[in-house]
Structure 1
Amino acid sequence: MHGPVLLSWLLAALTAAAGGHCLARLRRSPCTAHAADRPAAASRHAYESDAAEALMGFGMAAMAVSGSTVPAAVWAWLFGAPAVAFLLAAAGGPARRAHRLHHAVGGLTMTYMALAMGAGSGHGHHHPAGAGTPLLTGALLFYFGGYSLWAGVRLLGAPATAAQGAAGLPTATAGLPRACRLSMGIGMFAMLLTM
């Protein structure tokens, strides 16, 4: 990622925290807890969504700090394969199509940034500003900027409920998945801005 080192580390911390929360949700997924309370389709969707968001969060964190030290082909496979899977799943049926398309756009955007980094960096750890196609980068900035605003509005409208944490202390949980999606949308926007 091109830009100040502090920004890269802050972005990595933000997206790794979001990925960690998604991974924690994945561990106590509807497949293992409260499976009888939810329909099978909702359980599969929640598991699929948590897995995709955990991969995206940790991948964004790794890409933010490692830059072009990892070959672009590795990033392209890591994000491109799930993106294609989400595209095929979205084409296969109307259930959760918008959500799957969003994950596909995220994976394809990460692939695009990785390939632009690989093409734009000769020897250093960062790619030069202006790598990538300006029109495509602008369209993706528009998409993730709009998504971040939409996710922020949804987060503000989330009901304030509390649940008992591991230590018995109340923890606000209603907005955590939305906050993770918002932070990853902002992270994607910030990574695109530095291209």
Structure 2
Amino acid sequence: MHGPASSGWLLVALCAATGGYCLLRMRSSVEEQCRAAGGEALMGFGMAVMAVPAAAFTPPSWAWQAHAAVFGAAGLHALWAARAAPRHLHHLVGAAAMVYMAVTMAASSGHGRGHGPGHDGPGTPLLTGILLLYFVAYVLVSGIRLVPASAAAGGAPGTGWGDRPELARACRLAMGIAMVAMLPAM
């Protein structure tokens, strides 16, 4: 990712911590939560890899192609799951954004900053702008939904910290914020 190294490492830490918590959530006794947590862990770790500052490590272009293939498969899985539950459409958009960023990173490796697919000159590419607007709206709505949940829910007695819905919402909010930070750097 292009940009200052310090913010890149902060994004790496945020995304990796979120992915790690989502892995812990996979141990939940609630089957739907386990499935969602697996996809969110993949997204968190994938975003952590993508956020590593270019000055620290520049992967070969085939790594971005592999990244795009993994998230393309995750997008197909989210599309399949969205048939039964429309809430998976957000996972589809997230996977599509990851594919877009991986393809852009592969195309821009060796070509300079910001000249990926759909870039028609100075400014922000149209797809980047659309994704940015989506994730800004997602962050705002998620933040609003999180406030009442954290104020009202202290966690049911006997519920493990991995099963608390407000923590899962906070992880999704953190990943949305990370996506908002990463997209303009494309």
Indicate if the aligned counterparts of 1:11 and 1:64 stay in contact, CA closer than 8 A: yes
Letter in 2 for 1:76: A
Match of 1:59 in 2: 46
Could you tell me which amino acid in structure 2 is paired with residue 7 of structure 1? Answer: S
Match of 1:77 in 2: 69
Shift of 1:163: 6.3
Contact 1:113 1:132 in 2 (8 A): no
Structure 1 residues 112 and 60: alpha-carbon distance in aligned structure 2, compared to 1, 3 A threshold: same
User: C-alpha separation between the residues in 1 aligned to 2:106 and 2:128?
Assistant: 16
Question: How far apart, CA to CA, are the structure 1 residues paired with 2:165 and 2:76?
Answer: 31
Q: Aligned with 1:175: secondary structure?
A: helix
> What percentage of aligned pairs have identical amino acids?
49
Unaligned ranges ≥5, structure 1:
31-42
| Deviation of 1:88 (Å) | 2.6
Which residue of structure 2 lines up, in the alignment, with residue 96 of structure 1?
Answer: 85
Q: Which runs of 5+ in 2 are unaligned?
A: 119-124
Greater than 3 Å deviation, 4+ residue runs: 129-132, 162-165
- 1:164 Cα deviation after fit: 7.5
- Matched letter for residue 2 of structure 1: H
User: Given the two structures, how large is their TM-score scaled by the length of structure 2?
Assistant: 0.83
Per mean C-alpha deviation after superposition, the further-off stretch among 4-13 and 131-140 is 131-140
Quickly say closer, same or farther: Cα 1:164–1:17, change in 2 above 3 A.
farther
Q: TM-score, normalised by structure 1?
A: 0.79
Instruction: Please provide the CA RMSD for this pair.
Output: 2.6
- Quick one: which of 145, 151, 161 aligns to 2:142? 151
Give the SS at the match of 1:27: coil
- Of the structure 1 ranges 14-23 and 153-162, higher mean CA displacement relative to structure 2 is found in 153-162
- 2:36 counterpart of 1:49: yes
